Chain A
Amino acid sequence: MTTQRVRFYQVGSFAVGNRLLEADQRTVQAGEHRSNALTSGHRACQGCGEALGARYVLDAAMRATGGRMVTVNATGCLEVFTTPFPETSWQIAWLHSLFGNAPAVATGVAAALKVKGRTDIRVVGQGGDGGTVDIGFGCLSGMFERNDDVLFVCYDNEAYMNTGVQRSGATPPAARTATTPVTRSSPGNAFGQGKSAPLIAMAHEIPYVATATVADLHDLEAKVNRAMQIRGARYIHVLVPCPLGWGTESSETIRVARMATESGLFPVFEAENGEVTSATPIRRLMPVEPYLRIQKRYAHLFTPPPRVDVIAQIQARADRNIRRFGLLTEES
């Protein structure tokens, strides 16, 4: 675990801040002088997890780099809702090129900064799951393999949301999307497909890989901070719920991300040079069913007769994660 949990019985490290904590024990987000890399007026849906995740990551990166940072963004929701001419909600140096080339463009930026002797300026590449795991995958792998000095962040909302909720390589099994509709014979996205970008990143043995969610801010910021202390290719995969695509209430974004980790479906861990170095333990273990139930993209699993077989398969995936990453401690 990268964060030292503050045993502070009121809210400790689970809340964003606390008036009783020293400033350095609070999150970057708690400070009035946070960078607000992403400011108000953007066109994200109400309760957008990606808008939150991006601000979390980039404000933390700005703090860690003293504001010396350049961001490269892939095409997708994040890029579209932030830069509709004539409005941009970015307050940082930002470049958008194409859908599938953000990692390569980031490599180019890093190379330019290096040749100009400005390695104090760090590069963050970012994109959604579609741009990272599918169309951008070749470029991502190339950046990893060359160990370019880029932190790449994937905001994973588990489908191509900007174009209308189509399936991506990150869409979990049984989820309904516009291209994996639910029929009698097929309960949404197929089992046995999909890729784990964090595990693939680990297979490249790059210096740092981590997963995080918008539900645990201290953890996410600590990971961004850690990443910024390392040179070379780094990858952070952030789960960002999408109320529209997942079929959740706009107010539930944080809660559903929390349920994803507490059920074990989304393991939160860190790895360096291909080896898992820490896993954030599940605090209060819960079964997958309540997590699935609050998302309309899984509603078909609960209409009578409920698909208990599918739910059991999903539970098995969660159980496997728990085993594989050691997500339970005595306290859980």
Chain B
Amino acid sequence: MEGSRAVARTVARCRPEVICAYPISPQTHIVEGLSELVRSGELAPCEYINVESEFAAMSVAIGASAAGARSYTATASQGLLYMVEAVYNAAGLGLPIVMTVANRAIGAPINIWNDHSDAMSQRDSGWIQLYAQTNQDAADLHVVAFRLAEELSVPVMVCVDGFILTHAFEAVDVPEQEMVDAYLPPFRPRQVLDPSDPVSIGAMVGPEAFTEVRYLAHENQLRAVDVIARLADEYTALSGRRCEGLVSPYRLDDAETVVVALGSVLGTVKDTVDQMRDDGVRVGVLGITAFRPFPYDAVRSALARAERIVVLERALAVGVGGIVSTDVVRANPDAACHTVIAGLGGRPVMRASLRTVIADAVAGRLGELTFLDLDRAAVQAAARG
């Protein structure tokens, strides 16, 4: 089935009570799928609200969550940016909203295809970010996300590569309702709007206490690393499928060179690495699922014996270079780290190109920052013109 449909059906099994939807490519099939499930009664009780913007979508979710309902929405790219004020607000208020981000490039120039620039722009917002490698992963991670969010009172975004995953047809094992019910208890909010026990939520906090509030949020995120691991293990046991919450190592045991990446590109990376292993190159892969909080310990121990690291970035910090690289270097300051910016705006990541780049790294020819498959002629012509 199509990836979007798998996500929709899995989200429905998580029994969200309020779904708010504003359409944006490439998320549309997710919200359409959910709309059908609600309308048919398969997902009930559930209020499905067609909102007038993404800002409204996150705001409706905030109101619903604060009133004690399990809330969900989905967006991408421009839509994510349009709701940013509310994204930070949800995290600040500690509301366990789950949102699917169908990763897509951010304009200008407008581009509807996949890269990670949207979610990456929100890495400091206080949300937990989980990146799915496959559509099965995408489905499973949503179940974990709801449980995680509600346990920590922190919102969670599940990043699913737009078009590449959302519109791809593959076999997905949609978790059964009983399994999800066993894993995900009903939402018991930490704080709730209740006329019989009134509180004021959303006070103005000045210099005397703001730092402490942020510190507590920080601590909560750090604590989340262990919680993610625990919940992923629990899911694994329940589903019979390996669910990696933090990192997924691949052929790392004797790898001198490790390629680090997030999301669906890991499929291509693993194929490339398999090919190169056949040629005797000691190369491995570290996929990162939880980007926020960044699992430093797990990454550090996974990369402990690597001599060199190639970080394959699906987004660009303009004027700086890599984003994930920064965290990876912090985890392993001693290894040589090469940042490779790949697949921006949906450009396919070719195995051949990857092979070249990894070989260059092994041979010591790879610079610190590389743009994969850059059309030099075009940029030189643009620079001249």
- In the complex they form, whether A and B have CB atoms below 8 Å apart is answered with yes
In A77-122, the 8 Å CB interface with B consists of: 79-80, 82-86, 88, 90-98, 100-101, 104-117, 121
In the complex, what residues of A have CB within 8 A of residue B46's CB?
Answer: 115
A287 → B minimal CB distance (Å) = 42
Q: CB < 8 Å: which of B55, B60, B199 contacts A93?
A: B199
In the complex, what residues of B have CB within 8 A of residue A108's CB?
Answer: 18, 20, 49, 59-67, 71
In the complex, what residues of A have CB within 8 A of residue B49's CB?
Answer: 107-108, 111, 146, 148
Interface digits, B197-238 against A, CB 8 Å rule (1 contact, 0 not)? Answer: 111111111101100000000000000000000000000000
In the complex, what residues of A have CB within 8 A of residue B193's CB?
Answer: 70, 93-95, 109
Structural contact, A112 and B64, CB atoms closer than 8 A: yes
Q: Sample 30 A-B pairs with CB under 8 A, ordered by A number.
A: A70-B67, A70-B195, A73-B202, A84-B206, A85-B203, A85-B205, A85-B209, A93-B194, A93-B198, A94-B198, A95-B193, A95-B201, A97-B86, A100-B55, A101-B59, A105-B59, A105-B63, A108-B20, A108-B65, A109-B66, A111-B60, A112-B18, A112-B47, A112-B64, A112-B68, A112-B69, A115-B69, A121-B195, A139-B52, A139-B56
Cα distance, A327 to B303, chains bound together (Å): 79
Structural contact, A111 and B52, CB atoms closer than 8 A: no
Interface residue? B50 (CB, 8 A): yes
Interface residue? A68 (CB, 8 A): yes
In the complex, what residues of A have CB within 8 A of residue B50's CB?
Answer: 146
A96 with B202, Cβ < 8 A, contacts A67-B195, A114-B47, A138-B56 known:
yes
A138 with B53, Cβ < 8 A, contacts A83-B202, A105-B60, A111-B47 known:
yes
In A200-234, the 8 Å CB interface with B consists of: none
Structural contact, A116 and B200, CB atoms closer than 8 A: no
Q: 8 nearest interchain CB pairs?
A: A108-B63, A142-B52, A96-B202, A112-B69, A101-B59, A104-B59, A105-B63, A112-B67
Cα distance, A92 to B67, chains bound together (Å): 14
A70 → B minimal CB distance (Å) = 5
Structural contact, B47 and A115, CB atoms closer than 8 A: yes
In the complex, what residues of B have CB within 8 A of residue A92's CB?
Answer: 195, 198
Interface residue? B45 (CB, 8 A): yes
Structural contact, A145 and B52, CB atoms closer than 8 A: yes
Structural contact, A97 and B67, CB atoms closer than 8 A: no
Interface residue? B111 (CB, 8 A): no
In the complex, what residues of B have CB within 8 A of residue A107's CB?
Answer: 49, 51, 56, 59-60, 63
Instruction: Specify the main secondary structure of chain B where it touches its partner.
Output: mixed
In the complex, what residues of A have CB within 8 A of residue B52's CB?
Answer: 138-139, 141-142, 145
- A-binding residues in B (CB < 8 A): 17-18, 20, 45-47, 49-53, 55-56, 59-69, 71, 85-86, 89, 93, 193-195, 197-206, 208-209
Number of residues on chain A facing chain B (CB within 8 A): 47
In the complex, what residues of B have CB within 8 A of residue A93's CB?
Answer: 193-195, 197-199
In the complex, what residues of A have CB within 8 A of residue B202's CB?
Answer: 73, 79, 83, 94-97
Cα distance, A100 to B53, chains bound together (Å): 12
Structural contact, B203 and A84, CB atoms closer than 8 A: yes
Number of A-B contacts (CB under 8 A): 162
Chain A, residue nearest B18 (CB)? A111
Structural contact, A94 and B200, CB atoms closer than 8 A: yes
B122 → A minimal CB distance (Å) = 16
Cα distance, A107 to B62, chains bound together (Å): 10
Interface digits, A128-148 against B, CB 8 Å rule (1 contact, 0 not)? Answer: 000000000011011001101
Structural contact, A83 and B204, CB atoms closer than 8 A: yes
Interface residue? A286 (CB, 8 A): no
10 A-B pairs besides A79-B204, A108-B18, A116-B69 with CB distance below 8 A are A69-B195, A83-B203, A95-B66, A97-B62, A101-B62, A101-B85, A107-B49, A107-B51, A111-B47, A111-B64
Structural contact, B204 and A142, CB atoms closer than 8 A: no
A116 with B68, Cβ < 8 A, contacts A83-B203, A88-B200 known:
yes
Interface residue? A72 (CB, 8 A): yes
Cα distance, A15 to B278, chains bound together (Å): 92
Chain B, residue nearest A87 (CB)? B203
B254 → A minimal CB distance (Å) = 52
Q: CB < 8 Å: which of B69, B93, B198 contacts A90?
A: B198
B23 → A minimal CB distance (Å) = 14
In the complex, what residues of A have CB within 8 A of residue B205's CB?
Answer: 85
Structural contact, A116 and B17, CB atoms closer than 8 A: yes
Q: CB < 8 Å: which of B53, B63, B195 contacts A112?
A: B63
Chain A, residue nearest B92 (CB)? A97
Cα distance, A106 to B67, chains bound together (Å): 10
In the complex, what residues of B have CB within 8 A of residue A72's CB?
Answer: 63
Chain A, residue nearest B90 (CB)? A97
In A138-191, the 8 Å CB interface with B consists of: 138-139, 141-142, 145-146, 148
Structural contact, A98 and B85, CB atoms closer than 8 A: yes
In the complex, what residues of B have CB within 8 A of residue A70's CB?
Answer: 67, 193, 195
B289 → A minimal CB distance (Å) = 29
Structural contact, A142 and B18, CB atoms closer than 8 A: no
